Amino acid sequence: MKNKKPNNNRAVQNKQLSGNERIVNRTNQRRKKNKRKKLVISSLLCFVFLCVGIALVLTMFFDINTITVSGESAYSAEKIIEASGIKTGDNLIFISKQKANELITTELPYIGSAEFKRRLPSKLEIIVKKTDPVYAAAKDGYYILLDENGKVLETGLEYIGENLILLKTEEIVSAETGKIVTLTNEKALGKLKEVREACIECGLSDITAVDLSNIYNIKLEYQGRITLVLGETDSGNLTKKLDLGKAAIETQNKENAAYRGTINLTVAGQGAWLEETVTAESTTQEEPSPEGNTDAAGDASAQNSTSGDADASKTAESPSQTSA
Is residue 311 scored above 90 in pLDDT? no
From the centroid of its chain, how far is CA 2? 80
Give the pLDDT of residue 59: 66
Give the pLDDT of residue 308: 41
Is residue 117 scored above 80 in pLDDT? yes
Give the pLDDT of residue 273: 66
Residues 6+ apart with CB under 8 A from 303: none
Task: Give the global pTM.
Answer: 0.69
Q: How many CA atoms lie within 13 A of 178 on its CB side?
A: 10
7 or 95, which is more confident?
95
Distance CA 158, CA 148 (A): 21
Strands 165-168 and 135-139, sheet pairing:
parallel
Query: Which of 71-80, 120-129, 143-152, 286-295 has the least mean pLDDT?
Result: 286-295
Region 238-253: mean pLDDT is 91
Region 89-112: mean pLDDT is 95
Burial 17-54 (b: 16+ CB within 10 A, else e): eeeeeeeeeeeeeeeeeeeeeeeeeeeeeeeeeeeeee
> Hey, how many other C-beta atoms are within 10 angstroms of the C-beta on 231?
17
pLDDT digits (tens, 9 = 90+) for 269-297: 665 667 765 433 433 334 444 344 444 44
Domain with CATH 3.40.50.11690 in the chain: 185-280+318-324
Question: Please, what is the average pLDDT of the chain?
Answer: 80
Distance CA 294, CA 159 (A): 31
Q: Using 50, 70 and 90 to split pLDDT, how confident is the model at 18?
A: low
From the centroid of its chain, how far is CA 261? 32
Phi and psi of 168, rounded to 5°? Answer: -105, 120
Of 93, 88, 82, whose CA–CA distance to 64 is shortest? 88
Domain with CATH 3.10.20.310 in the chain: 66-130
Is residue 309 scored above 70 in pLDDT? no
Is residue 103 scored above 50 in pLDDT? yes
Give, for 46, the enclosing helix (H) or strand (E). Answer: helix 19-61
Q: Using 50, 70 and 90 to split pLDDT, how confident is the model at 43?
A: confident
Of 155, 148, 144, whose CA–CA distance to 129 is shortest? 148
Sign of CA dihedral 304, 309, 310, 314: positive
CATH architecture of 66-130: Roll (3.10)
Region 300-307: mean pLDDT is 40
Distances (CA, A) of 262 to 117, 132, 245, 272, 281: 51, 30, 10, 9, 17
Q: Using 50, 70 and 90 to split pLDDT, how confident is the model at 323?
A: very low
Give the pLDDT of residue 271: 59
Distance CA 193, CA 21 (A): 83
Is residue 300 scored above 90 in pLDDT? no
Residues 6+ apart with CB under 8 A from 83: 103, 104, 107, 108
Give the pLDDT of residue 102: 96
Is residue 107 scored above 90 in pLDDT? yes
Q: CATH 3.40.50.11690: does it fit domain 185-280+318-324? A: yes
Give the pLDDT of residue 301: 41
